[in-house]
Amino acid sequence: MRFLCKTEKDEWTGNIRDIKLQNNVYEFWIESRSSIMVVFGPTSRGGFACFPDFQVGCHLVSLKDKFWNTEKLVEILGKVDGTTVSAALTKLADTNLNDV
């Protein structure tokens, strides 16, 4: 599943692959400027995203809230990877994950 990433000065594409659902938690890989394993799921405050290879994670309010997600993800992953993951989550928000 391809998606577009943008910052004020740059633009690139990414690809989501290997989406798996286990116990209401999703796991997938993002291939872009780097390769990132993402684990996300629901919490009582919205949701969470974890990145085991980076040993970091954060709360997410909604997959569709690109502004919030980008801010939080850039804090923990850096500008390029945070922007990439936020764009991927926005793409997934527009997809019926039960069909993947």
CA angle 87-94-65, nearest 5°? 55
Judged by DSSP in three states, 49 sits in strand
How many helices and strands, by DSSP H and E, does the chain display? 2, 6
**pLDDT for residue 99:** 46
Residues 49-60 pLDDT 10s: 999 999 999 999
Report percent pLDDT > 70 for the chain. 95
Q: Is the pTM of this model over 0.85?
A: yes
Q: What is the domain range of residue 15?
A: 2-95
Q: Does residue 18 lie in a domain region?
A: yes
Which whole number is the average pLDDT over 10-39?
A: 94
Could you tell me which residues are beta bridge partners of residue 21?
A: 26
Average confidence (pLDDT) over 74-84: 96
Residue 17 in domain: yes
39 CB-near residues (< 8 Å, 6+ apart): 25, 26, 27, 49, 50, 51, 52
Please tell me the total count of domains within the chain. 1
Residue 100: inside a domain, yes or no? no
In a domain, 61, yes or no: yes
